[in-house]
Amino acid sequence: MSINLSTALKLIDAARKKAEEIGVPMVIAVVDDGGNLVAQVRMDDALLVSVDIARNKAYTAAAVKVATHELGSVSQPNQPLFGIHVADGCRIVIFGGGFPLKKKDKVIGGIGVSGGSVEQDMECAQAALERL
Protein backbone atom coordinates (compact mmCIF):
# COMPACT_ATOMS: atom_id res chain seq x y z
CA MET A 1 0.00 0.00 0.00
CA SER A 2 1.50 3.27 -1.05
CA ILE A 3 0.30 6.85 -1.37
CA ASN A 4 -0.98 7.84 -4.82
CA LEU A 5 -0.42 11.08 -6.71
CA SER A 6 -3.89 12.43 -6.08
CA THR A 7 -3.51 12.21 -2.31
CA ALA A 8 0.05 13.50 -2.46
CA LEU A 9 -1.07 16.63 -4.29
CA LYS A 10 -3.82 17.25 -1.73
CA LEU A 11 -1.28 17.05 1.08
CA ILE A 12 1.08 19.38 -0.72
CA ASP A 13 -1.76 21.79 -1.30
CA ALA A 14 -2.59 21.84 2.40
CA ALA A 15 1.02 22.46 3.39
CA ARG A 16 1.30 25.18 0.78
CA LYS A 17 -1.79 26.99 2.01
CA LYS A 18 -0.36 27.01 5.52
CA ALA A 19 2.96 28.30 4.18
CA GLU A 20 1.17 31.13 2.38
CA GLU A 21 -0.77 31.89 5.53
CA ILE A 22 2.40 32.31 7.59
CA GLY A 23 4.16 34.05 4.72
CA VAL A 24 7.15 31.74 4.31
CA PRO A 25 7.92 30.12 0.94
CA MET A 26 8.50 26.39 1.34
CA VAL A 27 9.51 23.32 -0.60
CA ILE A 28 7.14 20.41 0.00
CA ALA A 29 7.84 16.82 -1.04
CA VAL A 30 5.98 13.52 -0.79
CA VAL A 31 7.58 10.09 -1.24
CA ASP A 32 5.96 6.65 -1.42
CA ASP A 33 6.52 3.70 0.91
CA GLY A 34 9.66 2.77 -1.05
CA GLY A 35 11.13 6.23 -0.43
CA ASN A 36 10.73 7.29 -4.06
CA LEU A 37 9.45 10.78 -4.96
CA VAL A 38 5.77 11.09 -5.82
CA ALA A 39 5.48 14.88 -6.00
CA GLN A 40 7.41 17.98 -5.04
CA VAL A 41 6.79 21.72 -5.34
CA ARG A 42 9.02 24.68 -4.63
CA MET A 43 7.14 27.87 -3.83
CA ASP A 44 8.60 30.98 -5.44
CA ASP A 45 11.63 32.32 -3.55
CA ALA A 46 11.90 29.26 -1.31
CA LEU A 47 15.45 28.51 -0.19
CA LEU A 48 17.49 26.60 -2.74
CA VAL A 49 18.80 24.22 -0.07
CA SER A 50 15.24 23.22 0.69
CA VAL A 51 14.87 21.44 -2.67
CA ASP A 52 17.10 18.71 -1.30
CA ILE A 53 16.15 18.90 2.37
CA ALA A 54 12.40 18.66 1.83
CA ARG A 55 12.83 15.56 -0.26
CA ASN A 56 15.20 13.96 2.22
CA LYS A 57 12.95 14.77 5.16
CA ALA A 58 10.17 12.93 3.33
CA TYR A 59 12.56 10.08 2.55
CA THR A 60 13.77 9.85 6.14
CA ALA A 61 10.27 9.75 7.56
CA ALA A 62 9.30 6.91 5.21
CA ALA A 63 12.58 5.04 5.70
CA VAL A 64 12.77 5.29 9.49
CA LYS A 65 9.00 5.38 10.12
CA VAL A 66 9.25 8.22 12.62
CA ALA A 67 9.01 12.00 12.37
CA THR A 68 12.38 13.59 11.73
CA HIS A 69 12.27 15.68 14.92
CA GLU A 70 11.82 12.50 16.95
CA LEU A 71 14.77 10.93 15.18
CA GLY A 72 16.79 14.05 15.95
CA SER A 73 16.43 13.74 19.69
CA VAL A 74 18.09 10.29 19.70
CA SER A 75 20.74 11.29 17.13
CA GLN A 76 22.56 14.00 19.06
CA PRO A 77 26.12 13.44 20.26
CA ASN A 78 26.25 10.85 23.05
CA GLN A 79 22.75 9.64 22.15
CA PRO A 80 22.06 6.13 20.77
CA LEU A 81 21.90 7.01 17.06
CA PHE A 82 24.53 9.73 16.77
CA GLY A 83 26.00 9.44 13.32
CA ILE A 84 22.81 8.33 11.55
CA HIS A 85 22.63 11.70 9.76
CA VAL A 86 25.28 10.51 7.31
CA ALA A 87 23.73 7.06 6.74
CA ASP A 88 21.96 5.99 3.56
CA GLY A 89 23.84 8.29 1.22
CA CYS A 90 23.55 11.24 3.63
CA ARG A 91 19.81 11.33 2.99
CA ILE A 92 18.86 11.10 6.67
CA VAL A 93 17.60 14.40 8.09
CA ILE A 94 17.51 14.67 11.87
CA PHE A 95 15.62 17.91 12.41
CA GLY A 96 11.91 18.58 12.21
CA GLY A 97 9.71 18.87 9.13
CA GLY A 98 9.41 15.25 7.99
CA PHE A 99 6.55 12.97 8.97
CA PRO A 100 5.60 9.43 7.98
CA LEU A 101 2.24 9.10 6.26
CA LYS A 102 0.18 6.28 7.73
CA LYS A 103 -2.98 4.41 6.88
CA LYS A 104 -4.25 1.92 9.45
CA ASP A 105 -0.84 1.94 11.19
CA LYS A 106 0.99 1.09 7.95
CA VAL A 107 3.49 3.61 6.59
CA ILE A 108 2.40 4.47 3.05
CA GLY A 109 4.95 7.23 2.44
CA GLY A 110 6.46 10.37 3.89
CA ILE A 111 6.11 14.15 3.66
CA GLY A 112 8.88 16.68 4.06
CA VAL A 113 8.71 20.46 4.32
CA SER A 114 11.64 22.87 4.33
CA GLY A 115 12.06 26.61 3.91
CA GLY A 116 11.40 28.28 7.27
CA SER A 117 12.35 27.64 10.84
CA VAL A 118 12.02 24.05 12.01
CA GLU A 119 8.82 25.02 13.82
CA GLN A 120 7.38 26.59 10.67
CA ASP A 121 8.34 23.58 8.58
CA MET A 122 6.63 21.29 11.09
CA GLU A 123 3.53 23.47 11.20
CA CYS A 124 3.11 23.24 7.43
CA ALA A 125 3.72 19.50 7.39
CA GLN A 126 1.17 19.02 10.13
CA ALA A 127 -1.39 20.98 8.12
CA ALA A 128 -0.86 18.36 5.42
CA LEU A 129 -1.21 15.48 7.88
CA GLU A 130 -4.58 16.83 8.99
CA ARG A 131 -5.74 16.57 5.39
CA LEU A 132 -4.79 12.90 5.19
Closer residue to a second copy in complex, CB, 7/127: 7
Dist. CA 49–CA 95, nearest whole Å: 14
Closest approach, Cβ 23 to a second copy, in A, equals: 15
Name, in order, each residue with C-beta under 8 angstroms of 89's C-beta and a sequence gap of 6 or more. none
Closest approach, Cβ 102 to a second copy, in A, equals: 13
Closer residue to a second copy in complex, CB, 87/129: 87
Closer residue to a second copy in complex, CB, 63/127: 63
- Residue numbers at the binding site for a second copy (CB under 8 A): 4-6, 9, 32-44, 47-49, 51-53, 56, 60, 62-65, 72, 75-78, 80-90, 92-96, 117-118
Dist. CA 37–CA 72, nearest whole Å: 22
Closest approach, Cβ 122 to a second copy, in A, equals: 11
Closest approach, Cβ 129 to a second copy, in A, equals: 20
CA-based nearest residue to 29, from 130, 127, 125: 125
Closer residue to a second copy in complex, CB, 61/127: 61
Dist. CA 39–CA 61, nearest whole Å: 15
Name, in order, each residue with C-beta under 8 angstroms of 25's C-beta and a sequence gap of 6 or more. 19, 43, 44, 45, 46, 47, 115
